[in-house]
């Protein structure tokens, strides 16, 4: 089975008075592992990477390794619209001896497909395994399947987190990538089943912060040949998954974790607390699923 197969938590960064809340993160990692998660991404989009310091990413990676132990994947974020900065983040990941770095496409400056190829080649030269991350709704940059297939041939590029929202993309990527070891991972929590059915190996999930066992089970049911049960579990939790994206990620999932008393309801600007109307909707869905009384 692929090294990255299963449900990997796109970890939130818990804060206390605007500083990394290390005890809260430690408890989260223990819980995620107990519930079947394969690993974590620290310093990614859900972790508010844009406002994190390298030392905070390093602290979370070290905590996760110490708490979860051998076999629990540690992936660190290496996303930037400045290739030189992305390389430095990849070098940080290499220093931390993470299993891979996750690197979103450069945002704002909107590089061409040729520019994306050169960007990721620069990261791959660091020597740490690289997982591509395509999330055009956030970056304004769509990495096409043909580009992913080209990059899959580059040494040290080991997979892709595909979050375009188009389920056909999974099939096209799997069809074009001539490497069975290349990890195709869903970046859309509502499309995990589709990714698996298209030859994917799992998910890097924001919702798994709150639902670690559910996302682990969706994957494990598929791996064990219980395809209908995997599909039904995905469908059952769609209302909650949708509620966790009522506002910009990670605002709803951090709010939900705070409501469930896992972390404090705290963000770094420019992210702010959830609007009252959406928070009320979220609480209602959490009650429906029995997560709060």
12-48: pLDDT as tens digits? 999 999 999 999 999 999 999 999 999 999 999 999 9
Over residues 178-229, the pLDDT tens digits come to 898 999 999 999 999 999 999 999 999 999 999 999 999 999 999 999 999 9
Residue-level pLDDT at 159: 98
- Domains (ranges, CATH) in the chain? 6-224 (3.20.20.70)
Q: Indicate if the pLDDT at residue 104 is higher than 90.
A: yes
- What mean pLDDT, rounded, does the chain reach? 97
User: In a 10 Å sphere around its CB, with 0-12 CB exposed, 13-18 middle and 19+ buried, how is residue 261 labelled?
Assistant: exposed
Confidence of residue 129 (pLDDT cuts 50, 70, 90): very high
Both structure tokens of 281: 């909707």
The pLDDT score that the predictor gives to residue 130 is 98
Whole-prediction pTM: 0.97
- Taking residues 71-84, what's their average pLDDT? 97
Number of neighbouring beta carbons within 10 Å of residue 146 = 12
- Which one of 33, 38, 133, 254 is the catalytic residue? 133
Catalytic site residue 161?
Answer: yes
Establish whether 150 is a catalytic residue: no
| Residue 247 reports pLDDT greater than 90 | yes
Q: Which residues share a beta bridge with 100?
A: 75
- Give the pLDDT of residue 42: 98
Query: What integer pLDDT is reported at residue 178 of this predicted model?
Result: 86
From the list 161, 193, 237, 254, the catalytic residue is 161
Q: What's residue 284's pLDDT? A: 98
What's the confidence (pLDDT) of residue 24?
Answer: 98
Give the model's pLDDT for residue 228: 98
Q: So what's the pLDDT on residue 293?
A: 87
Taking residues 136-145, report their average pLDDT.
96
Average pLDDT over residues 235-264: 98
Percent of the chain with pLDDT over 90: 98
Q: Measured between alpha carbons, how far apart are the two ends of the chain, in Å?
A: 39
Q: What is the pLDDT of residues 256-274, one digit of tens each?
A: 999 999 999 999 999 999 9
Question: Mean pLDDT, to the nearest integer, of 66-93?
Answer: 97
């Amino acid at each position: 089975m692929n090294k990255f197969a299963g449900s990997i938590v796109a970890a939130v960064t818990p804060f206390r008075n605007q500083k990394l809340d290390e005890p809260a993160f430690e408890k989260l990692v223990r819980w995620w592992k107990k519930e079947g998660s394969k690993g974590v991404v620290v310093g990614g989009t859900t972790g508010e990477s844009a406002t994190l310091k390298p030392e905070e990413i390093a602290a979370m990676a070290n905590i996760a390794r110490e708490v979860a132990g051998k076999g629990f994947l540690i992936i660190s974020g290496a996303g930037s619209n400045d290739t030189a900065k992305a390389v430095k983040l990849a070098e940080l990941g290499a220093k931390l001896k993470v299993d891979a770095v996750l690197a979103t496409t450069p945002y704002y400056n909107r590089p061409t497909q040729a520019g994306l190829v050169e960007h990721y080649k620069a990261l791959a030269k660091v020597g740490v395994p690289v997982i591509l991350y395509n999330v055009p709704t956030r970056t304004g940059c769509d990495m096409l399947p043909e580009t992913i297939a080209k990059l899959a041939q580059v040494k040290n590029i080991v997979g892709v987190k595909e979050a375009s929202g188009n389920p056909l993309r999974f099939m096209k990527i799997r069809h074009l990538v001539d490497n069975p070891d290349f990890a195709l991972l869903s970046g859309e929590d509502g499309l995990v089943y589709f990714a698996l059915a298209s030859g994917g190996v799992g998910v890097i999930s924001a919702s798994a912060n709150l639902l670690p066992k559910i996302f682990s089970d969706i994957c494990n049911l598929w791996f064990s040949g219980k395809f209908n049960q995997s599909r039904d579990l995905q469908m059952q939790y769609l209302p909650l998954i949708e509620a966790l994206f009522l506002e910009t990620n990670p605002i709803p999932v951090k709010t939900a974790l705070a409501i469930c008393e896992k972390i404090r309801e705290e963000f770094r600007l420019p992210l702010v607390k959830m609007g009252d109307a959406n928070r009320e909707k979220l609480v209602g869905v959490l009650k429906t699923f029995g997560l709060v009384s």
